[in-house]
A and B are shown apart, each in its own frame.
Chain A
Amino acid sequence: MKHSEAAEKFISDNERTNWHDKALWFVRAKRDIAIKQVAEWEELRALASQIKAHVMSNLDVLLEQFEANAIKNGIHVHWAKDAEEHNNHVLNILKEHRVKSLVKSKSMLTEECHLNPFLEKNGIEVIDTDLGERIIQFRNEPPSHIVLPAIHLTKEEVGETFHTHLGIEKGISDPKILTDIARAHLREKFLSADAAMTGVNFGIADTGGFVVCTNEGNTDMGVHLSQVHIASMGIEKIIPRQEDLGVFTRLLARSATGQPVTTYTSHYLTAQSGQVIHLIIVDNGRSKQLGRADYVKSLFCIRCGACMNTCPVYRRSGGYSYSYGIPGPIGSILAPGANPKEHSSMPFASTLCGSCTDVCPVKIDIHQQLYSWRQDLTEDKKTSSSKRLIMKMMGIVLAYPKLYRFSGITARWFLGFSPRFLIYNKLNLWGKQRELPSVPTESFRDWYSKNRRANL
C-alpha cells in the first residue's frame, strides 16, 4: 500500500496522532539533553562515520578476519545469502539440538527474514522476550518502531492484550503492574527454553566476538540459561577493532533513548561450558546495496531509531504507514534497495527537511538519499503512472517561460473565480484538510517590472 493511503488510516484518529507525535518528540528531546553532556559529540559522529566508511570499503577482508577469529573462539559460523537460507540454517540448528522452544531477543534482521512464522510453521515455539515485542507478538502485529516496537499502543491496549493472552483481570493499565506481570510470565519462559536467539549490534573483526546492547536484560537471561545460542548478523555489522566500540557505545544509546549507555552491553567471545554458539552471517541484498554509490552509506546504520523520533512525517503517520519492516527515514532509503517496485512510495514520505540527517550518529545523508531515490524510481518507472504524468507536465511547463506565464495567469484566474467545489475536491490533494492561501492579484514578475525595473 502507498504510504499516503496507509497514513490516512492512522491520522483519521486525531487524538492518537497527536499522542504518538508527542511520545516520539519526548524521546527526541531526551536525546538532545544527552548529547549536550558530550562536548566532543560531533567529533564522535565523524569518527563513527569514518570507521563505517572503512568497513564498507574493506568488508570482504574484515568478514574473513571476523570469521577466522570467531572459529578460533569455538563459534560455529554459517553464511546465508538470503532470508530463506537464513531461516533454514536456524531450523537445522534447532533440529540438530532437538529444540522445541526458543526465546528470542530483539533482532530487526529476523523480522526482515520473517523468521517467526517460518519456525512456527515448523513446530517450534517462539517467544519474543523484549517486552514491547512480546506485546505485539500477542497481538500478531509487526513492530512499528525499531527501538520502541509497541510505541503505537496505549497502556490501556496493553492491559487489554494481557487480559486476553495472560488471563489478567480486565482494566489494568498501570505500566509498572503490567511490566511485573510480563516479568513473571517471561521468567518461566526463560527457565524452560532450550535455545536462545539474539541479534548482533557489533561483530568485532579483531577478536571474533560480538556485542549485543539491551536495557531489559532479556538477551542475557535467554542466552545464559540455554544450551544453544544462535546469533544473526547482517554483513554490515562488522567493526574492525574492539576499541572502536568506545565510539559506538557512546553514540548508540544517547541517540536512541537519551541514556548515557544501554543498561547491558554484552560481549560474547566464547560459549559458556556446556553451551554452543552458532552465528549466521546474512547478506539478503546488502552486498548489492554496497555497490550503489549513492546509497552505500545506508549500510552505516546502527539502528538507533533517532531518525524516526525526529521525523515530522513518521511521528504523525506511525510505523505502519510504511510498507517495509524498517519504517521511517532510514527504512525509506533501505526499502527501495530491497524491492523498488513494492516500496516506491516510501522515499516520497518525507518533507526533505533534513532533520534525520542532523541527528544520525553515523552521519548518513538520509534526506539526500531520499531525494536521489525519488529521481531513480521515477526514471525507472517504478513510481505510479499518475505521479510520473504530473512530473512530466510540470517539466514541460517549467521549460517554456511563455507557457509558464500563461499557466500562472490561468491558475490565478481559476483559483480566484471558481466555485469552491471545483477547487476543493478529490483531485486536489493540497486542498485536503487545509485551506489554500489566498490568490495574489499579480505574479512577482508583473510586480517587479512595475515597481523595480523602472527605478533601476
Chain B
Amino acid sequence: MSRESILAQIRKSKPELVGLPILPECHIVEGDLTEQFKKTLLLVGGQAIEISEGDIELHIKKMFGYLKLTACNDGTLNFSNIDTCSIDDPRELRDIDLAVLRCRFGVAENGAVWLTDSDLSHRALPFITQHCVLIIPKNGMVWNMHEAYQRIKQENYNGFGVFISGPSKTADIEQSLVIGAHGPKSLTVFLTT
C-alpha cells in the first residue's frame, strides 16, 4: 500500500531528530489594542466602529437600512427578516444582503475576527452574504496571533473556525485591489462597550 511505502521511504530519508522550539506566549506590546485594530481593519478595506450595546440596532438600520434581506445570529437584536436556522440547503442563502454575527474576539495586529460553528447557523453565511457586520466585545481583544491561538486552545472549537480580516478582495487583475471578490463587498466590525 502507498501509505506504508511512503512512510517507509520517509523513515529511511528523514534527517536526524531536531527539537521543537517553545513558542512565545505573546510579544510585549505598547499601545492601544482598540486603536491598532481600527487602524489595521481600515488598511485591509474594512471599518471598525466603537458602539454601546444599546445603539447597535439603530446604527445598523442607519447604515444598511436600504438592504432587503438580513440574517442575524442573535435573537435579541430585532432586525433579522430571515430565519436561517429553518433553512436546510445553504444554497438558499444566496439572496442574503446582510449578515450580522456576534463573534468571539478580535486580533489587534491584523484586524481579524474569530468565529466558529457555534456562531453560525450555516458555515456559508459569512461568505455568501453581500455585506457583513461582525460584533465583538471591545474588551476581549487579543494583541497578536500567538495570543489568539492560546485563547482558541482554551475555548476549543468543534468543526470549523475562521479568522476574517476585512471584506473579500482580489488583486489578480494587474495588481489593482478590488474589494468584493466572491464574498462580502463590505465588512464592518462593531466593538461594543
Contacts and interface: CB of A to CB of B under 8 A. Distances in A.
Do A and B bind? yes
Interface of A: 23, 26-27, 37-40, 43, 47, 50-51, 53-54, 56-60, 63-64, 79-81, 85, 129-132, 135, 148-151, 153-155, 158, 175-176, 178-180, 183, 186-187, 190-191, 215-218, 220-221, 223-225, 235, 240-247, 249-250, 257, 259-272, 281, 283, 287-288, 290-291, 293, 296
A453 B23 CA distance: 59
B85 interface: no
A265 B163 contact: yes
13 contacts: A38-B109, A50-B18, A54-B21, A57-B16, A224-B123, A235-B6, A241-B20, A242-B149, A260-B44, A260-B111, A260-B165, A261-B163, A288-B9
B27 A261 contact: no
A243 B10 contact: no
A195 B138 CA distance: 39
B69 interface: no
Given A246-B144, A287-B13, A176 B23 contact: no
A79 B158 CA distance: 25
A132 B182 CA distance: 13
Nearest to B11: A60
Given A249-B145, A291-B12, 7 more contacts: A79-B1, A81-B6, A158-B173, A187-B182, A265-B162, A265-B165, A270-B159
B182 A242 contact: no
A287 B43 CA distance: 41
Contacts of B128: 221, 224-225
A290 B14 CA distance: 6
Nearest to B116: A267
B21 A261 contact: no
Interface residues of B, number: 74
Interface string B168-192: 1111111110101111100000000
Given A58-B17, A59-B14, A264-B163, A135 B172 contact: yes
B124 interface: yes
A266 to B, nearest CB: 5
A260 B43 CA distance: 9
The 5 closest A-B pairs by CB, nearest first: A291-B13, A217-B183, A132-B172, A216-B181, A260-B110
